[in-house]
Amino acid sequence: MKINTGLMLLCATLLVHTKLGVAQEPAVDVMIDKVVAAYGGDKLLSLKGFKLTDKRQEFRNGQNHSPNETDLFYRHASVTVDLVKQRKEFRLIRGTVTSGRIFDGQNGFSINPTARVLTKSARINFATADSKRLLHLDTALVLMLKDARESAEYVGERSHHGVMYDVVKFKTKQYPQLTLFIDKHSGRIAQMQRPYRKTQYYNTYFSEFTQNKGVTYAATTYQTKAGKPLSMTTSRKFEINPDLAKAFKLPKGYSKPKEGIDFSTMTALKIADNLYQAGRYGGFSIFYDAGEYFIAAGGYYELGQRFAKIKALGAPDKPLKYLVVSHHHDDHLSGMKEAADLGVNFITVKDNIDSIREAAKVELADERFTIVENEGEYANGEVKVLDFDNEHAKHNLMTYFSSEKLLFTADMFIARDVVGLPKGEQSHLALKQKLNQAGFDVEQFAAAHSSRLLTMGDLDETIASIVPEECPAHWAICEK
């Protein structure tokens, strides 16, 4: 038998290279064991529970008060975890607003201390109760990685700032794919990455590692979103096997939530002779028939679908000539591409033009912008636009329809329940004062986030119900 020595030599070479590759590439199990050891080994694995309490400063990218500034806001949170009974308690202070979540091992609940409302929710379970807070705790990521050993995959090595990292990715039931960058020398997690958009990511960086009772954790974290700063810790406390006797208890004397409006279906309504409303979910628009064209307010995505919906309802087949852009926040600019394609002219303030152009993703000539300075009038005064500098946005354009005595706002006066009124806030009082100064005779309110119309009487009642935010005295995060 003739032997092909060339083929044998090639096979042998491939075999050697394959074996070398396996020897050089660490097995996933070895990697996981190394990370577990770096975070305490048996002490980590024997944990019955833990509690994380931290304070963060978060950057308001896309939701800033001014399009030219980046704001910081404060978050103070705690997460108590019972690993044995699979229970979790989450408490949060965001600015002055306090909220909480509990999963008691079987059922999930959300808590509103100020309104004294307790809501049972099937969406809250052991995985979701902490509202992704534990993604900021490297120790928790190690426990997730250990439990997801079967799905874990070694990706390779990466050098960053002169330090070599092993890269491991894995999936869990509660989160999309997570990628960990592990220091080859220490075995500690330096970075966690998870998807944000198609080619963009959230990245969380861990530093200032310390230990509590032999279990390692990062005392400082820093997070980016699509490459931009998102948040950073200012203080952190990590407790091992805390006393759980007073945890996971539901508050007493709280009421059930009101019935919410179902916004899942695109709806349209003729609310006056020349005025139409359409939308679904959190995106609604108002369309005014100005004779030869329409003027709209409300720039959420699906603007084109909303415009088509009012025409299907019986609105005249006329072009959409103007769109009032309420303010510069990302969600209210998500329909700018559709608006540009419809050929509209944008009614806005000068400061927001760049934001609109960026959101539209197409070239927009200067002539397509109609600038409002304090107040503007259109359609022979039937449509008035008032610029309202309030706590939500430096420029917040409100649209008033004179004949109908109806005011359309975004993020100002909204009711999403079938009955009842929104919680009274100081911003509602400021709104009433602004309308009085402008001399607007408002009888009805429409909103970008709800189909329900409210009245001036509703606004007065809401203002009368204003109460300070409450932070329960027995919540440790409420202590100054």
- Residues in a beta bridge with 165: 158, 183
The structure tokens listed for 290 are 């100005």
Looking at the whole model, is its pTM more than 0.95? Answer: no
Cα atoms in the 13 Å half-sphere on the side-chain side of 468: 3
Is 306 inside any structural domain? Answer: yes
415 & 312 share domain: yes
Only one residue has tokens 């406390």, namely 237
Residues ≥6 apart with Cβ < 8 Å to 40? 211, 214, 215, 216
Is 3 inside any structural domain? Answer: no
Question: Exposed e or buried b for every residue in 103-116, given b needs 16+ CB within 10 A?
Answer: bbeeebbbbbbbee
287 & 352 share domain: yes
Is 250 inside any structural domain? Answer: no
Only one residue has tokens 């092909």, namely 4
In whole angstroms, give the CA distance from residue 144 to residue 137.
11
Contact present, 135 and 144 (Cβ < 8 Å): no
211 & 282 share domain: no
Q: Which helix (H) or strand (E) holds 165?
A: strand 163-170
- Report the number of distinct structural domains present in the chain: 2
What is the pLDDT, as a whole number, of residue 480?
61
Contact present, 211 and 43 (Cβ < 8 Å): no
In whole angstroms, give the CA distance from residue 247 to residue 160.
41
Is 9 inside any structural domain? Answer: no
Q: Which helix (H) or strand (E) holds 436?
A: helix 426-438
In whole angstroms, give the CA distance from residue 251 to residue 112.
10
Backbone φ, ψ for residue 158 (5° rounding)? -145, 135
Helix spans in 39-188 (H): 42-45, 138-147
Note the pLDDT tens digit of each residue in 104-159: 999 999 999 988 999 999 999 999 999 999 999 999 999 999 999 988 999 999 98
Is 209 inside any structural domain? Answer: yes
Can you point out the beta strands (E) in 241-317?
A: 267-272, 275-280, 283-289, 294-297
| CA 183 to each of CA 46, 189, 204: distance values in angstroms, whole numbers, following the listed order | 24, 6, 15
In whole angstroms, give the CA distance from residue 410 to residue 300.
10
Query: Rounded to the nearest 5 degrees, what angle is found at the Cα of 145, between the Cα atoms of 144 and 150?
Result: 115
31 & 164 share domain: yes
Q: What is the CB neighbour count within 10 angstroms for residue 462?
A: 21
Query: In which domain, by residue range, is 51 found?
Result: 27-240
Is 12 inside any structural domain? Answer: no
222 & 137 share domain: yes
Residues ≥6 apart with Cβ < 8 Å to 245? none
287 & 365 share domain: yes
| CA 403 to each of CA 150, 177, 290: distance values in angstroms, whole numbers, following the listed order | 66, 54, 12
Secondary structure letter of residue 236 according to DSSP: E
Helix spans in 63-218 (H): 138-147
200 & 61 share domain: yes
392 exposure class (CB count in 10 Å sphere: 0-12, 13-18, 19+):
middle
What is the pLDDT, as a whole number, of residue 394?
87
What is the pLDDT, as a whole number, of residue 173?
78
Pairing of the two strands 163-170 and 153-160: antiparallel
Is 145 inside any structural domain? Answer: yes
378 & 413 share domain: yes
In whole angstroms, give the CA distance from residue 78 to residue 100.
9
What is the pLDDT, as a whole number, of residue 175?
81
Counting as low any pLDDT under 70, the low residues of the chain are 1-26, 480
Question: The domain spanning residue 346 has which CATH number?
Answer: 3.60.15.10
In whole angstroms, give the CA distance from residue 422 to residue 465.
10
What is the pLDDT, as a whole number, of residue 26?
59
In whole angstroms, give the CA distance from residue 67 to residue 75.
22
Contact present, 282 and 263 (Cβ < 8 Å): yes
326 & 182 share domain: no
114 & 181 share domain: yes
105 & 179 share domain: yes
Residue 35's nearest CA partner among 172, 179, 150, 185 is 185
210 & 347 share domain: no
Cα atoms in the 13 Å half-sphere on the side-chain side of 70: 8
In whole angstroms, give the CA distance from residue 416 to residue 86.
33
Residues ≥6 apart with Cβ < 8 Å to 258? 417, 418, 419, 420
Contact present, 178 and 194 (Cβ < 8 Å): yes
Residue 170's nearest CA partner among 190, 145, 206, 187 is 145
In whole angstroms, give the CA distance from residue 312 to residue 395.
33
| CA 301 to each of CA 283, 296, 312: distance values in angstroms, whole numbers, following the listed order | 7, 13, 19
Is 380 inside any structural domain? Answer: yes
To the nearest 5 percent, what fractions of the chain are helix, strand and coil?
A: 25, 40, 40
What is the pLDDT, as a whole number, of residue 392?
83
Q: Which of 225, 240, 255 is the last residue of a domain?
A: 240
Question: The domain spanning residue 74 has which CATH number?
Answer: 2.50.20.10
